[in-house]
Amino acid sequence: MKTRIQQLRKERRISQSELADALSVTRQTIISLESGKYKASLVLAHKIAQYFGSVIEEIFIFEGEENL
Amino acid sequence: MIGIFCVTKASTDEEYGRHLGKACYVYAGMIGIGVITAAIAIVAELLGMAGISDYMLGIYCGMGSGIAFGGAVLILRNRRLIRDKEKLHKARIHDSDERNFQISNMAVKAALAVLLAGMYLVMLIGGLWYPELPKILLFLVLLFLLSYLAACKLISDRI
């Protein structure tokens, strides 16, 4: 799974710390999400989508067997 | 560092503060257990109970005072966190972070595998000299498996 978090964050000129504060997670979680090492829960994915005013599918790109 | 039990679902600092306040009762219980453990050793020493070595009394005393001291330190830590709003916020974010939950769960699984392997080795080697050892360790493994099954049943009923 790939994410567009870093791209969207940079477009909006938001730091990892600011995003982490807004989502009530640690900065390390944002780093791991951006690098694809950690997969967000449905609730966190929803919060991220809400934060960027988008939908989950626009931010999280599911690949291969992750799709039906 | 991520603590095994340092996880919370508190969504606000106030809620987390209340959670820490409640945890102080658990730590007070720890102090009680520690004091009782040390008291057993001291009473046994005073009564001069036969068959109990000074070494074991020392172990009980040390274990008891260690548990009590740990409980006291954790109470002081929680009280300090509750008073300092900035530190309370940081601690809440750390303890409610879902990635930290996952790390903790995975680490517990890994540590459990090491523990079980270690117990098996101790049973295998130690059992040659101490025949009671395999019985005790098998009882502990059985206790773990039964607790696991009971916890699975209880949790599956809830979610």
CATH number at residue A40: 1.10.260.40
- Contact at 8 Å (CB) between B23 and B82? no
Predicted TM-score (pTM) of the model is 0.79
Cα–Cα distance for residue pair B73/B111, rounded to 1 Å: 25
Q: Tell me whether residues B99 and A20 touch, CB distance under 8 A.
A: no
Cα–Cα distance for residue pair A56/B157, rounded to 1 Å: 30
Q: Tell me whether residues A25 and B99 touch, CB distance under 8 A.
A: yes
Cα–Cα distance for residue pair B130/B117, rounded to 1 Å: 19
ipTM over 0.95: no
Q: Which of B92, B97, B105, B159 to mutate to test the interface with A (most CBs of A within 10 A)?
A: B97
- Of the listed ranges A42-46, B54-58, B130-134, the least confidently predicted one is B54-58
- Contact at 8 Å (CB) between B102 and A38? yes
Q: Quote the tokens at residue B40.
A: 């057993």
Contacts of B98 in chain A (CB under 8 A): 25, 29, 40-41, 43-44
Residue of A nearest to B96 (CA): A25
The runs of H, that is alpha helices, within B48-131 are 54-83, 85-96, 98-126
Query: Does position B159 have pLDDT exceeding 80, yes or no?
Result: yes
Strand partners of residue A61: A2
Location of structure tokens 């919370």: B8
Cα–Cα distance for residue pair B112/B95, rounded to 1 Å: 22
Cα–Cα distance for residue pair B107/B114, rounded to 1 Å: 11
Mean pLDDT score, B62-81:
94
- Contact at 8 Å (CB) between B122 and B133? yes
Query: How many independent structural domains does chain A possess?
Result: 1
List all residues 6 or more positions away from B16 whose beta carbon is below 8 Å from its beta carbon: B8, B10, B88, B91, B92, B95, B96
A49 within some domain? yes
A8 within some domain? yes
Query: Does position B8 have pLDDT exceeding 90, yes or no?
Result: no
Report pLDDT for B10: 79
A10 within some domain? yes
Averages of pLDDT over runs of 10 residues in chain A (68 residues) are 92 95 94 93 95 93 86
Give me the phi and psi of A36, to 5 degrees please: 80, 10
Query: Does position B53 have pLDDT exceeding 70, yes or no?
Result: yes
List all residues 6 or more positions away from B70 whose beta carbon is below 8 Å from its beta carbon: B30, B34
A68 within some domain? no
